[in-house]
Amino acid sequence: YTEMAESSLVESPELKIYHGNCHCGAIKFAVKTPETPTVGECNCSICFKKGYKHIFPGPEAFNLIRGEELLKDYEFAGKTMLHRFCPTSGTPVMGKRSSAPPGSDISINARTLNDLDIWSLPTQTLDGKSLEPSYKPAPFTGPEPTAKIEDSKIYTGGCHCGNVTMALKTTDPQIPQVSISTQDPSQVKAYIFGRSFQEHTFCGICGVSLVGEGVAG
């Protein structure tokens, strides 16, 4: 794909041009695809954590209009796919497979496209979870939440790369206490927009969303 000031794609009766961007608008692109494309939903660790809905445009059907130099890249395990996200907003934008033929090597996250009703799209299940080597999540090593919550249970999780792990203590998802542990606090990024009433945090290494927290007025 190429970066240019405006998209050079041309619509046809069979194909429609959708424009997309990360949440903050620093990265902008266009993709030519059927008006109602089939999206791939993969069960692998990174796609599950990021909520990808994959669209694989054909050859010469994707233009990166601006922001390629801003994209943050993340690879893991066999490094068969480059996962690219916005380092400011954490938006998962696209993936690039290293050994796939042209037309199936680039995946665009359908959630980033404007004027596309993703809830109405047909889906295809992709079984990335079965690929070796299997993903092993990092264990939570920080202190457990100390809140006294009757009949509570502790759930652990974290980002994909293991830089951030967390423990959630709750009986009711609306009244939780969360304990967060980080290997590199400088890689916990915060994103605030609009009315600035909520801070959205994500891992700056792998781009996985972490928590949303209200901002004191």
List, in sequence order, every residue forming a beta bridge with 42; answer none if it has no partner. 126
Structure tokens at 41: 């939903």
Q: Is the pLDDT of residue 160 over 60?
A: yes
Q: Is the pLDDT of residue 114 over 50?
A: yes
Contact 91, 30 (CB under 8 A): no
Pairing relation of β-strands 123-126 and 39-42?
Answer: parallel
| Per-residue pLDDT reduced to its tens digit, 162-174 | 999 999 998 876 6
Rounded distance between C-alpha atoms, residue 148 and residue 161, angstroms: 31
| Per-residue pLDDT reduced to its tens digit, 49-63 | 999 999 998 778 999
For domain 15-130, is the CATH number 2.60.34.10?
no
Give the 3-state secondary structure of residue 41.
strand
Domain 153-214 in the same topology as domain 15-130: yes
Return the C-alpha torsion angle 135, 112, 157, 42, nearest 10.
Answer: -40
**Helix boundaries (H) for 17-161:** 45-50
* Residue range 143-167: mean pLDDT, rounded: 91
The domain locations on the chain are 15-130, 153-214
Rounded distance between C-alpha atoms, residue 192 and residue 189, angstroms: 10
Contact 98, 108 (CB under 8 A): no
Confidence band, pLDDT 50/70/90 cuts, at residue 84: very high
Q: Is the pLDDT of residue 2 over 50?
A: no
Output the pTM of the full model: 0.84
Q: DSSP string spanning 54-70?
A: EE---TT-EEEEE-GGG
Contact 189, 202 (CB under 8 A): yes
State residue 5's pLDDT score.
Answer: 47
Rounded distance between C-alpha atoms, residue 93 and residue 207, angstroms: 10
Sheet of 62-66, strands arranged across: 2-3, 62-66, 28-33, 16-21
**CATH architecture entry for 153-214:** Beta Complex (2.170)
Residue found under tokens 């041309």: 10
Angle at 214 between CA 209 and CA 217, to 5 degrees: 145
